[in-house]
Amino acid sequence: MPSDTTPPEGDYTESGVPNFDYVRDRIENRFATALGSTELAGETPEAKAFDDELAERDKSARDKLEEIRRSLRDE
């Protein structure tokens, strides 16, 4: 005879609360979807152009910082 503490089969308990396996599966599915979307978004031509622009901006910022440092050393 089953005890009253054993949850019923399915995704929810008799009181309407989702069980652990159901919640874990939902979280894992959402994580996988988000990860896949991020990977796909990074492979578009727009993403490549943005990455290139960001790299150029970073290089310009490093060059400007180095110029400022050189000018401070010369003073």
**Structural domain spans, the chain:** 20-74
Asked whether the whole model's pTM tops 0.75, one would answer no
Please give the share of the chain, as a percent, with pLDDT higher than 90: 49
In the predicted model, what is the mean pLDDT of the chain? 86
Average pLDDT over residues 7-33: 87
Give the model confidence (pLDDT) of 27-63 as tens digits. Answer: 999 999 999 888 887 788 888 888 899 999 999 999 9
Q: What does each C-alpha distance from 26 to 8, 15, 23, 30, 73 come to in angstroms?
A: 19, 20, 5, 6, 58
